[in-house]
Amino acid sequence: MPPQKDILGAKRGRGRPANAGVPQKCMIMENIGVYRSLKARSAPQHDVSRAADAEAKRLIECYGWENPLRAVVAGGITEGSNHVVDGKEQKRRDGIFKKVRAEVLKVWRENAVHDTRVEVAGRPSTEIAELLKLFAHKPRRKQLYHIWATSKPRPDLEEEVDLRHAARTRTSTLGGTPLPRVATWNAVASEWYKNASKKEQKAARKQRKRVYRQDMKQWKSSASAMPKSPDEAIEFMKSSQLFLSDLMHFFANRTSGIAIMYLSGPSGSSLISEGVCNVLEQPKLLYTEVDPEGCAQFKYALSKQAQILNEAKWGVVAADAHHHPIACDVYLDGQSNEDEDDEQDSGDQQSAEETDGKSSSESDSDSDSDSDSDSDSDSDSDSDSDSDSDSDSDTVQRIEFLHQPSLLDANRSHGARNDPAFAHGTDASTNTRTDKDDSDYGMHLISMNDPIADERQPTQGGSTSGLFAFDVEGLYNKSGMGTAKYARAFQAAITKILPDKAWLEESNTVSFLRAVPAKLAGLVDVDVACDLSLAYLNFEACGLDERSVNLRAIKMSEQCAASLQPGYMADLGLRDFASRWHRRAERADIRTPAKLDADVDITLPQQWALLQPAERRDERGRLCRAADERMKWKKALAPGLDGVRLLVVTTLIWAWNIKGDEERTQWSYLATDILQVLRILIRQVGDLEGGEPTPEPSDHVGRKKSVRKA
């Protein structure tokens, strides 16, 4: 079996990766109590070695001989006890065993100093700070040449760096990428430190110890110290990213499931850490990839509540501390941190300790040979430089800052259109069909190239206003309904409907429609959206039999097969999807069932036109006449779970994902025409009195069921 690769998409810090993965480290820590007890009673070294050998053997038995320290999935040893390996394989296994044994001792030594800690499984919540120290990376010692070079201004050193860097740059122009100046600075500083006097080198070693002790003191107190400002809270959130990612990965594997942690802090800062258990030969799919819209909505609601708490705690400081824009879709961009800039170099000297591996090793050898070298505990801490971050962890999300959506002017005035299509007006000729054709609303294959001429065929992002060859808004009087008025009218309509139609609540349609003013404010004309919502509820209450809407199969081009369009609207009926505010796909070829069609601005108006009586359409398939009570829609439009609900919900979700002023105008025409038709259908039933529907007395007792088959 080939060695397991690191988890794809994982983001780690700079420097060499950790020797052991998170699962392996946790497994080693399970028996750290044995090591502590041996050290507490000053046991002989051979007892400690025996315990380390047993732990190394246990780790190899779990993860096998192929890279046991970095394996993602437990493989185990499948060969029998009598299996004989050749000399070359035995030599390789001996080397692996020594490496695993050394890592076991290293992890035990690193964590043996915290005698008050208990094992992770039995850790009480009061010791959570110690848990953070267990997984968090300790501060590392500064390189000696870095301490020496930055202890005082050294203009001669900087001049030498400039000369060498200029020479390297001239050489590299002939081919290859020039090295950064910090690499030259590292090399020069390391050379000059070696040539410095013994007194200066000793002072540098003392300074390094002093700085390291201060960093360790700050590190030990940082886990339990309360933030003194919003900035400190955000910095702690940033520093916890890798730890939380490792923790979620650990729990997801141990519980054989999914683990997600949402953090929301001051100034709209938020962080998502998640992990998914490993499944053999199966790709890892994070939950934020499965339901990005739901995660985004929960994250936004959580951030708003956290902002309220922080404004109460910090005052206006928390609200004004940051002004970071949020990405349009944080979950799509959050899968990798390739462009992360949170750890930008503060200067050449700051990056010097991590860039030049050669100089680092030379400086370390100087330190180890010195008589004032560090104690055993300090040398154990040196190994922290080998464990910067774990590439076994899942994707680490960046800290993001959430802004309240900017509200645009909701009361947009849409005047008469200067559309060439108006030249046809209501005098355009109409198609004719028989009553038999008019009543047949089954699935039909209708090509969009016929009867609409090629030059009028809409394209994605183009205008679909040509589908309306009359002044749609000229016949519509806005209600001027505000949020408060809509809430009262909505509650009155729901009170009348719910006793008979429980599926409205079960499908989340009640909550969906209640949120219309808040969701669509600043995106489209909220008055039109509210009128459409109430017209739909009144239509559900009119007493008509519930039926499924029969979508027409549309052939968008000669190369494409005919299909039910929009796809989201078809999926909403076929897959028992609840009414939710889903996002819009960026391209048609990457749409999932929970994504609105990228070309919904084309397919939804076309589908609406095909559901209309023939006398409304001209020879080009445009709607050339306004709806009136003399027209018959037969069974095309009906109430029900799979009825007009699909059309109205899809229309409102399009409004939530509107793109540009042109689409906003298109949506306004479509929504206005839909609500006008619904009002006519209500009047045709004769159940509309004084602007409010009055349901007929029902012959049955109990709730009205949908026609959808179980």
Cα–Cα distance for residue pair 430/616, rounded to 1 Å = 7
Q: Is residue 227 part of a domain?
A: yes
> Does the N-terminal peptide bond of residue 639 adopt cis geometry, omega within 30 degrees of 0?
no
Q: Which long-range contacts (C-beta less than 8 Å, at least 24 apart) are formed by 630-633?
A: 631/680, 632/438, 633/677, 633/681
DSSP 258: E
Q: Is residue 665 part of a domain?
A: yes
Q: Is residue 208 part of a domain?
A: yes
Look up tokens 């090591």; give the residue: 35
Q: Which domain holds residue 207?
A: 144-342+394-401
Q: Is residue 178 part of a domain?
A: yes
Q: How many CB atoms lie within 10 A of CB 154?
A: 15
> Residues 477, 615: one domain?
yes
Q: Is residue 5 part of a domain?
A: no
Cα–Cα distance for residue pair 77/70, rounded to 1 Å = 16
Number of domains in the chain: 2
Q: What is the pLDDT of residue 83?
A: 67
Of 242, 221, 211, give the one whose Cα is nearest residue 387.
242
Q: Is residue 495 part of a domain?
A: yes
> Residues 186, 334: one domain?
yes
Q: What is the pLDDT of residue 29?
A: 86
Q: Which helix (H) or strand (E) holds 320?
A: helix 316-320
- Tell me: the pLDDT tens digits for 608-665? 888 888 888 887 778 888 888 888 888 888 898 888 999 999 999 999 999 888 888 8
Q: Is residue 226 part of a domain?
A: yes
- Tell me: the pLDDT tens digits for 287-299? 888 888 888 888 8
Q: Does residue 418 or residue 619 have the better pLDDT?
A: 619
Residue 564, helix vs strand vs coil: strand
How much of the chain, in percent, has pLDDT values that exceed 90?
10
Q: What is the pLDDT of residue 633?
A: 85
Q: What is the pLDDT of residue 178?
A: 67
Q: Is residue 74 part of a domain?
A: no
Cα–Cα distance for residue pair 678/195, rounded to 1 Å = 89
